[in-house]
Chain A
Amino acid sequence: MSVGTDEIIDALAKILVDELDLGLRADRVTATVPLMEEGLGLDSIAIIELIAAVEQKFEFQLLDEDLRTSTFENLDALARVVHERKFA
Chain B
Amino acid sequence: MSDDVRRKTPEICGKRVRPFGPGDRLLGYTTKVAGASRVGAVLWGMGIAQLRMARRLAALGVPSLQAKLTNRDFRNGHYSHQGIELCGAAMEKLAAEQNVDVFILIANCAFANIALNTAVEDRRVCALALSNPYLTKQQKLELQRWSLVKKIFDPRKWLRLFAGRVDMGKNLDGAFHLFTGRPTEKSTVAAERAQLAKQVGPDMLLPAKLDECIRELCARGVEIFYSFSSTELGPRYFEKHYRASIDELRSTGALRTVVLDTDVHSTAEDHEGAVLHTEALLEWLVTTNTVRELITSERSSSVTP
Q: Which residues of A contact B (CB under 8 A)?
A: 19-20, 37-38, 44-45, 47-49, 51-53, 55-56, 61, 64, 67-69, 72
Would you call B15 and A20 a contact (CB within 8 A)?
yes
Residue-wise, chain B 132-147 has the 8 Å CB interface mask toward A (1 for contact) of: 0000000000000000
B23 at the interface (CB under 8 A from A): no
How many Cβ-Cβ contacts under 8 Å join chain A to chain B? Answer: 52
Q: Is the CB of B14 within 8 A of A68?
A: no
Contacts of B46 in A (CB 8 A): 44-45, 48
Q: Report B-chain residues with C-beta under 8 Å of the C-beta of A67.
A: 48-49, 51-52, 55
B: contact size bracket: 20 to 34
CB pair A69 B51 closer than 8 Å: no
Q: Which residue of B lies closest to A67 (CB)?
A: B52
> Does B24 make an interface contact (CB < 8 A)?
no
A52 to B46, CA, bound (A): 13
Docked pose: A56 CA to B12 CA in angstroms: 7
Extra 8 A-B pairs, beta carbons < 8 Å, given A52-B14, A52-B29: A48-B46, A49-B16, A55-B12, A56-B12, A67-B48, A67-B51, A67-B52, A68-B270
Known: A67-B55, A68-B270. A47 touches B48 (CB 8 A): yes
Q: Say yes or no for B13: interface residue by CB 8 A criterion.
A: yes
Chain A residues whose CB sits within 8 angstroms of the CB of B234 once the complex forms: none
Q: Please, which residue of chain B has its CB at the minimum distance from the CB of A37?
A: B156
Contact A52 B156, beta carbon cutoff 8 Å: no
B201 at the interface (CB under 8 A from A): no
Hey, which chain B residues are within 8 Å of A44, CB to CB? 45-48, 68, 268
**Is residue B17 contacting chain A, with contact meaning CB distance below 8 A?**
yes
